[in-house]
Amino acid sequence: MVESAVRTSADWLRYITSLPGVPGQEDAVARELMKAFGTVADKVERDRMGSVYGWIHGVGKAPRPRALLAAHMDKIGFLVRAIEPGGYLRVTEVGGFDSRTLPGKEVMIHSRPPMVAVFATRPPHLQKKGEADRPIQLEDLYLDTGRGEGEVRRKVPVGTMVTLRQSPVQLLGDRLAAPGMDDRAGVVVLLRTLELLRSKRPSWDVVAVATVEEEFGVVCLGARTAAENLCPDLGIAIDVSHGDMPGARDGDTVPLGSGPALSIGGNIHPAILEALKASAKALSMPYRVEPCPTGSGTDAMDIQISSSGVPTAVVGIPCRYMHTGVETVEPRDVDRCAYLLAHYLSELSLEWRSVEVLK
C-alpha cells in the first residue's frame, strides 16, 4: 500500500496514540495495527493472547535465526469500578498514574456509544479551608458524564475501559505530546523498522511484536508469551525512556532529541549493546547509554527469561512526563530508533551466537 510510504513518524504517532487499549482490552488497537503492519510486513498474525506479529522473512538459508522486536500496544487507563447515585463513576487504574495529574482532565468512556466525561473538581469558591493543600487520591476522584443516572447505568457496565482524552498536542521543534506515547511510540518504531527492512533484507527472520498487557504490572504478559511462542535467538524491546525534566536527577533521564537511549545493565546482553553502538556510529547517529542497574522495566525483562534464556537489549525513545496525559516525544528520535534497528538487524550475521562455548 502506498499509504504507509507517505506517513511520517509524526503522522503514525498521532494516529496510533489516538487508539484506545488498556491492558487486556487491546482489540481495537490490535485491529488497526494488523492493518498497519499489513502495509509493511511479509506476514501478519495475532497470537492467542492478542499480540500482533509482523514478519520480515530473512534472505539467509533456512532454518534461519530469528530476532524478536517487542513494543507494547497497551496503554495505561482506567476501568469503571462503581456507579454512584447521580450517575457519577468511580474508576480503578490499570497501570500507574500519579493521581495528582488527573483532576479536571477529560476522559473517554469506551462504552457503546463512547461518552466523554471529566474528572470532577470542586471549584475554589466551595472548597473548605485547606482543601487545596491535600492531593485528591484516585479513590476520591469521580467522573461526571453530564448525563442522567439512568442512561449511565444502562450504557456503562462496571469494567468499561476509560482512557485519558487528549488529542495530540503539537509543540515547537516538531515535538508531540499525547497520552499513550508509552509505548505507542515504540509501536511506531516497529512499523518504521519493518518498512526499512522490506527493502534492506536481513539474513535473519525478524518478527516485530506489538505486545499486550505490559502495563498490567504482574508480568509483561504479551512479551513473555510471544517469546515462548517464537523462541527467538535474540530479543529487543523498544520502549520509552524518561526524558529530561525538572525534578529528575541526572542519570535517570535522557534529553529529548538525543537519539536512541541504549540501556545497560543485567537485562542487556553486552554484545548486542556493543553492536547497536557500532551501528549508531556507522550511521553517525547520536545515542545515549541509559543505566538500568536493577532491570529495564520493559518487555525485555520477560523476553530474557523466556524459554532457556534469550539475549536481550532495550532501545529507548526519550519521553517526558511519562504516565501523564502529555507524554512528549520528538518524532526524530522515533526515526532514529528505526534506522538504528534496521541497520543493526540487516548487519546480523547467520553465524552470530549468544552462547559462548568455552571448551
Is the backbone of residue 103 left (phi > 0), alpha (psi -120 to 50) or beta? beta
Q: Does 269 bind other proteins (CB under 8 A)?
A: no
CA gap 82, 85 in Å, rounded: 10
Q: Given the rule CB under 8 A, which of 47-55, 164-172, 304-312, 338-346 is the region that contacts other proteins?
A: 164-172
Q: Given the rule CB under 8 A, which of 57-65, 190-198, 246-254, 301-309 is the region that contacts other proteins?
A: 246-254
- Of the candidates 3, 27, 42, 98, which one interacts with other proteins according to CB under 8 A? 98
Angle at 190 between CA 37 and CA 298, to 5 degrees: 130
Task: Tell me the site size for other proteins, rule CB under 8 A.
Answer: 62
Taking CB under 8 A as the criterion, which residues in 118-137 touch other proteins?
118, 120-127, 132-136
CA gap 167, 188 in Å, rounded: 17
Q: Does 323 bind other proteins (CB under 8 A)?
A: yes
Q: CA nearest 76: which of 180, 184, 194, 227?
A: 180
Q: Given the rule CB under 8 A, which of 51-59, 139-147, 199-207, 339-347 is the region that contacts other proteins?
A: 139-147
> Whose grid coordinates read 553517525?
284
Q: What are the counts of helices (DSSP H) followed by strands (DSSP E) for the chain?
A: 9, 17
Q: Does 108 bind other proteins (CB under 8 A)?
A: no
Q: Does 9 bind other proteins (CB under 8 A)?
A: no
Positions annotated as catalytic residues are 214
CA gap 207, 209 in Å, rounded: 6
CA gap 108, 115 in Å, rounded: 6
Q: What distance, in Å, lies between the first and last C-alpha atoms of the chain?
A: 51
DSSP state of 127: P
Taking CB under 8 A as the criterion, which residues in 293-312 touch other proteins?
297
DSSP state of 142: -
Site string for other proteins, 34-73 (x = CB under 8 A): ----------------------------------------
Which residues of the shown chain bind other proteins in the complex (CB under 8 A)? 84-86, 88, 96-106, 115-116, 118, 120-127, 132-136, 142, 144, 146-148, 166, 169-175, 177, 242, 245-248, 252-253, 257, 297, 320-326, 328
